[in-house]
Amino acid sequence: MQIEVRPATVFADVATMVGPKRPDANVCWCLSYRIPSKQNQALVGVQRGALVRQLVEEDPPPGVLAYDGEEVVGWAGVHPRADTTFARNRRIPSLDERVVWSVWCLRVRPGHRGAGISHPLLAGAAAFAFERGAEVVEGYPVDNRGEKVDLTMAYVGTRALFEAAGFTKAADTTSLLNGFPRVVMRLERPTR
């Protein structure tokens, strides 16, 4: 398996990864951290997909996709922190005024999980951010200390996954997910 990570510019592939089986269903579409809470709550059914279709056409797009050949197998939500709800999040602290991009969601498609796709997906999300001017890339995974994380809550990643990608713990948070504390993990822009 050769995983290639590309900008999320193909709406159908984004929909495969984060959209519902029924277009009118109210699912996240990976918008809960990307747009203001009031807007997120106001969007229902097909409006959610319509907004994602619009975001996919913007520069930068709302994330990256992992491909095995031409088959989409993974998604990572990554965007400048200033344009996400993390910019105002009281539970996950902002550490400084640098140009920070946030990775808030990592999803691997059913049938492809357990194959190590999350590792190149996270590396690709960080590379995408650095190519677009990020000084630092942050993630807010759970610090589960090796304990099992419920699959529906695993989208934030684990501290171990981020450490394997070269991120280091920068701060604790007051955010809990699935009973586990979340931490701020940071990766500095590589020096040339």
Each residue's pLDDT tens digit, 129-184 = 999 999 999 999 999 999 999 988 899 999 999 999 999 999 999 999 999 999 99
pLDDT at 191: 85
Question: What's the CA gap between 60 and 7, in Å, rounded?
Answer: 8
Whether the predicted pLDDT of 192 surpasses 80: no
CB 166 within 8 A of CB 111: no
The band of 24, judged by pLDDT with boundaries at 50, 70 and 90, is confident
Question: What's the CA gap between 58 and 27, in Å, rounded?
Answer: 22
DSSP per-residue string spanning 12-80: HHHHHHHS-SSTTS---TT-TTTS-HHHHHH--THHHHHHHHHHHTSSS-SEEEEEETTEEEEEEEEEE
pLDDT at 29: 95
Each residue's pLDDT tens digit, 45-87 = 999 999 999 999 999 999 999 999 999 999 999 999 999 999 9
pLDDT at 151: 85
Mean predicted confidence (pLDDT) in 118-125: 98
Each residue's pLDDT tens digit, 97-110 = 999 999 999 999 99
